[in-house]
Chains A and B, each alone.
Chain A
Amino acid sequence: ILNVEQSPQSLHVQEGDSTNFTCSFPSSNFYALHWYRWETAKSPEALFVMTLNGDEKKKGRISATLNTKEGYSYLYIKGSQPEDSATYLCASLDDYKLSFGAGTTVTVRA
């Protein structure tokens, strides 16, 4: 089971502002990095699955980058909206299973 760390643990952002947060993971024997979005009272839903160093993926106002050599990924939210409020989880794939970070909880204030 890999040690995956996310920071910050939580953040508050004003509606319309942009924000970003970090996921760090062991860079040796890297296979894939996943991002999930977890809204309260729902189940986690996949945002991105990233495998290549330098990968950048985008879904609407949310994007992610990947650096496998140094073992980190950033998630960006552009022009935050109240519906972006959720916990964002990253997970690194190791030996057929995902090891999750503790998440970054984003609260968007109207």
Chain B
Amino acid sequence: SQTIHQWPATLVQPVGSPLSLECTVEGTSNPNLYWYRQAAGRGLQLLFYSVGIGQISSEVPQNLSASRPQDRQFILGSKKLLLSDSGFYLCAWSPTDRVEQYFGPGTRLTVT
């Protein structure tokens, strides 16, 4: 069966510091991968998605970036965090031939 991992689970970072969040998927190959951000009590905002290694599409212009160095690895990063980057970051995957998405446990980021 397929599983999706995210780490760390929680993170507190000062303004201006760098960020690296990692997401890995097991039990499938060539998945579509997605990064979302969810502010407290709000909906899901799609940040990036990827259909293959090195292929990244950005949905929202911001100071975040994403990379997909391996087929089942998706990384979200920033060179300098802003206070507004605080939130719940969710990674998701979907099979290439289906549209439903499966979410990881998420990372709660607090920028102080």
A-B interaction: no
Q: Which residues of B line the A interface, CB within 8 A? A: none
Q: Which residues of A line the B interface, CB within 8 A? A: none
